[in-house]
Amino acid sequence: MGPRLASFSELWLFKAAATGEMHIHLADICSKYGGSNSAGLVRVGPNELISSDPDVGRHMSATKVKRRKGQWYASMKVDPYVDNIFSQLDPVKHDKLRACMSQAFLMKENPHLSLKIDGSIASFVNLIQRKYLSTSENARPIDLGLVSQYFSLDVITAIAFGAPLGYLDNDQDLFGYVKTTDAILPFVTLCSSSPSLGWFMSQAWVTNLVGPSPQDKTGQGVLMALAQKYVGERYGSDSDDKQDMVSLFLRNGMSRRQVESEILAQMSSMFCTSFAGSDTTSTAVRSIFLFIISNPRVYALLQAEIDDRIRNKRISSPITDDEARDMPYLQACIQEGLRIWPPFTGMMFKQVNPGGEVIKGTFVPGGTAVDANFEYKGHCGWGMQRGPEFGNDVEVFRPERWIEANQDQRKIMDRTVDIVFGSGRWACLGKAIVRAELNKVFVELLRRFDMSVVDPSKPWDSKNYTVFVQNKMWVRITERKSFG
């Protein structure tokens, strides 16, 4: 049940990761071999199984069963010397960290979060008006892929530090963040996809020998120094009453070093399933924009819904989260965008319990408590979003499927798309923040501007390394005359 090479070697998974199209390879083998058992399990390594069945994904992340994370997660340290909530393998330590961090992500208890999103969207609009409005006489294309990254970074740093770092205001890759993360992502993905390599690179002596340092002038060490600077300014202050993440984390008893690790992970986040990561959120913004503006029928219907809400004074300026949730076609576009291009495609292996367990009618061996050769069960996020619950046209971007579905079918589809944000005890802490960003940004830009892809034959450069590295998404933007 899987490629023959994968039954005895890590090489198949390593080679798939190196292509930059790992999500496609995983979905293909799930489609080819997944029918051999009731759980759709496919072998991708000697001790590694994946499935594109959403029920199996939820089963492995169930809150009641305290499974351990697999070695895959250990490769996901952004600060290689300290675990973050995503890379922490110990269930008890993970749950303690989650409890300390969760308050910072609650939209209802932190109304300032919505204001910070609004502020970053205003900066997004301002940047377009300052530099990127095209006319018939003057073409000023924008790399919407890169600027979407700037937007997500400004949102997360505003929430983390109290004010955005100013990526949009400067229209610049501050601190070399984008360059650094784009450079390290392929290697991180290779390490996570090769348990032996990942284990070797996670050894303390290797990290101490070749790992980054805050004294470095380039690369990951620069980001570590940035996190240390911002956290250090707050640590030990009796007068710090801000409601940003740094202050809330410190007040909830997290150590200075742990807060530095978590804040760095926020900025460099490859981890949509733990919090509102900038890389995953920017991918959602880019991909949904691309699918909307490259589909004339969808584009026209969405702008018509926006215009109707403006005309009937049913949305504010800026739009509120509640108002956006009441726009059925907007919500259908967002759900369909997350489905057809899930922004996070990591396998997220969990250990099968010692002695083995039955997963949807299929017995999976789990070794013994002292046996290192557990079976590791992960999921194929790309394949999950192309299941039969979405119909026979799963490769088509068609928001109407969400409106046509009856209540029961819609509930099934919503639950599957929700796996984009993780599930159970590993569910995304920042889901509400990400949803609010998506609910607002499309309305605020499309009510003001018309957009078109400059080169439909090559709309962007896109590679997949657990998250997507996407740029050169050149878009022509003009001002809407009917904006109200």
Q: What is d(CA 57, CA 173) in angstroms, rounded to the nearest whole number?
A: 36
* 253: region left, alpha or beta (phi > 0 left; psi from -120 to 50 alpha): left
> DSSP states of 86-149 as a string?
TT---HHHHHHHHHHHGGGG-TTT-THHHHHHHHHHHHHHHHHHHH-B--SS----EEHHHHHH
Residue 342's φ and ψ, nearest 5 degrees, are -60, 130
Q: What is d(CA 389, CA 301) in angstroms, rounded to the nearest whole number?
A: 24
Angle among Cα 373, 12, 67 to the nearest 5 degrees reads 35
Asked whether 421 and 58 are in contact (CB, 8 A), the reply is no
Q: What is d(CA 280, CA 277) in angstroms, rounded to the nearest whole number?
A: 6
Nearest residue to 473 via CA among 277, 456, 464, 465: 456
Residue 316's Cα: distance from chain center in Å? 28
DSSP 464: E
Q: What is d(CA 465, CA 74) in angstroms, rounded to the nearest whole number?
A: 16
* 28: region left, alpha or beta (phi > 0 left; psi from -120 to 50 alpha): alpha
Cis peptide before 456 (omega within 30 of 0): no
- Angle in degrees, 0-180, between the axes of helices 296-311 and 431-446, rounded to the nearest 10: 90
Give strand pairing partners of 467.
344, 465
Residue 35's φ and ψ, nearest 5 degrees, are -80, 0
Q: Which residues contact 104 (CB under 8 A, 6 or more apart)?
A: 110, 159, 244, 245, 248, 249
Nearest residue to 459 via CA among 219, 290, 253: 290
Residue 123's Cα: distance from chain center in Å? 22
Longest dimension (CA), the chain: 72
Q: Helix %, strand %, coil % for the chain, to 5?
A: 55, 10, 35
Asked whether 284 and 343 are in contact (CB, 8 A), the reply is yes
Q: Is 428 annotated as a binding residue?
A: yes
Binding-site residue ranges? 428
Binding-site residue ranges for heme? 428
